[in-house]
């Protein structure tokens, strides 16, 4: 099974190497790595040329944000299954992609996802939070819950049915796409109850309360535009769940 992995990056010279090494180390033989660079002005492209042994295509040009970059990669992808691993993120083990590809041996399955470990910048990194996708159900999307996007792999046929990311969303475009895939369509999925990706802090949705307010507003707009009933209270209930994940890790480490 051919697996396309799309990496979006902009001025990521200090982070892209970790992602390149992780994909290069995967034991799955048929990986198509597509890198979409937003015309970086640092040494990102030089790092890519020096370090990516599996790059099928490198696109480097200005873009209109992360979701525009995702769409460029999606149009270039030729794999049976498509996933995303952003600059700085890495797979937990060298068997991660082969485990995901093996799950798709079930011909009825259309999507696979698992958990993410959110880590700090130390060496070795310290786990700050374990983002668990096990709470996800189609109805849970009205509460702002979704599969961990860095672990989400879907068959090409799903993207053909639901279309591309909506680039008018600046921070919740992955949530809006998942609404179309799972809440508005009966995409058949499997949850793998294990961490698949390590993701450093500092992503678009993890930059303080201002970003949390923005993503909540965009989630509400996404639900309304896709006919999914929700309200401010339901969407804000996801925050106590995140705090519970943080508290669990703190108690585990202190114990």
Joined tokens for residue 63: 């873009």
d(CA 95, CA 114): 14
CA–CA distances in Å: residue 178 to residues 92, 152, 159, 184, 208: 23, 10, 11, 9, 23
- Quick check: pTM over 0.85? yes
Parts of the chain with a pLDDT under 70 = 52, 203-209, 242-255
d(CA 254, CA 245): 14
pLDDT number for residue 155: 98
pLDDT number for residue 252: 45
pLDDT number for residue 243: 66
Cis preceding linkage at 107, omega within 30: no
pLDDT number for residue 55: 80
Give the tens place of pLDDT for each residue, 159-172.
Answer: 999 999 999 999 99
Domain ranges of the chain: 1-105, 107-151+162-255
Domain 1-105: CATH architecture, name and number where available? Alpha-Beta Complex (3.90)
């Amino acid at each position: 099974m051919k697996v396309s992995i799309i990496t979006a990056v902009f001025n990521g010279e200090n982070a892209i190497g970790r992602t390149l090494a992780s994909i290069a180390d995967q034991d799955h033989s048929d990986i198509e790595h597509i890198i979409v660079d937003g015309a970086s002005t640092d040494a990102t492209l030089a790092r890519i040329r020096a370090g990516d042994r599996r790059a099928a295509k490198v696109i480097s040009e200005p873009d209109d944000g992360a979701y525009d970059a995702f769409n460029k990669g999606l149009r270039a992808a030729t794999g049976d299954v498509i996933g995303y691993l952003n600059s700085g993120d890495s797979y937990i083990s060298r068997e991660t992609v082969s485990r995901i590809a093996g799950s798709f041996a079930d011909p009825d399955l259309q999507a696979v996802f698992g958990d993410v470990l959110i880590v700090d910048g130390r060496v070795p990194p310290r786990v700050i939070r374990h983002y668990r996708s096990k709470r996800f159900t189609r109805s849970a999307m009205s509460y702002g819950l979704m599969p961990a996007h860095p672990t989400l792999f879907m068959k090409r046929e799903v993207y053909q049915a639901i279309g591309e990311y909506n680039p008018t969303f600046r921070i919740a475009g992955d949530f809006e796409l998942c609404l179309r895939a799972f809440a508005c369509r009966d995409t058949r999925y499997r949850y793998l109850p294990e961490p698949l990706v390590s993701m450093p802090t500092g992503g678009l949705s993890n930059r303080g309360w201002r970003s949390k307010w923005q993503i909540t507003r965009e989630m509400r707009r996404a639900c309304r535009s896709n006919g999914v009933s929700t309200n401010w209270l339901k969407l804000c209930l996801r925050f106590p769940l995140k705090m519970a994940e943080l508290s669990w890790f703190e108690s585990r480490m202190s114990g």
